[in-house]
Amino acid sequence: MPLRRLHFFSGILIAVFVVLHLFNHLFAVLGASRHIEVMEALRPIYRNVVAETLLLAAVFVQVISGVRLARQRWAAALGFWDKLQLWSGLYLAMFFVFHLGAVFAGRLALGLDTNFYFGAAGLNQFPLVLFFVPYYGLAIMSFFAHLAAVHSKKMRSAVLGISPQTQSAGILLLGVVLAVVVLAGFTGGFRGVEIPKGYHLLGGG
């Protein structure tokens, strides 16, 4: 299968999980208990041997194929959307590696439930917050930036009078808004969240 097609199909699988994950994270604005309640309802969908194996395989394919495609297209990326697709994709590749590493280290090595507090730990402890706010914020924005860049190329016609470029800009703006909302939820409206002792000095999700 051509590299682009592998990248495309693995990306679809990852996108389904990311949408579920972000849907869960939006409930953080209602508090930790509500976020955990929704998380426990969603976990049977993706936290099982079959789903996790498929997801990890998709991430592996996505990272390897993404880096190779970026190298092939680097010199030809001239426009805004081309460059945004490359840079957002490279950031996501880095994020996937570190994020999954943190999650599995928390689960397997530290024996922690990687719930709301595992994700919120780095966002509510100084100086870790200085790293984790841009780390998570850029991850959410990069996901939508990547979608927006692909959309700008795939979409050929206007919808309800809205041009493809404007549609892509809307997707990009949605990513910025969701990043702010999720970060606000995990930091108690930027006022801070009390982190249980077992999660101190941790960062992950």
Find out whether 91 and 138 touch, Cβ atoms under 8 Å.
Answer: yes
Q: Which CATH number fits domain 3-199: 3.40.640.10, 1.20.1300.10, 3.30.1330.90, 3.40.50.300?
A: 1.20.1300.10
pTM: 0.92
- Map tokens 């996901």 to a residue: 143
| Calpha distance 20→145 (Å, rounded) | 18
Q: 11-49, pLDDT tens digit by residue?
A: 999 999 999 999 999 999 999 999 999 999 999 999 999
- pLDDT tens track for 100-159: 999 999 999 999 999 999 999 999 988 999 999 999 999 999 999 999 999 998 887 777
- Cα–Cα separations (whole angstroms), residue 9 to 1, 25, 178, 205: 11, 24, 25, 24
Q: What share of the chain is helix, strand, coil (3-state, %, to 5)?
A: 80, 0, 20
**Domain ranges (residues) in the chain:** 3-199
The pLDDT tens digits of the residues spanning 39-95 come to: 999 999 999 999 999 999 999 999 999 999 999 988 887 899 999 999 999 999 999
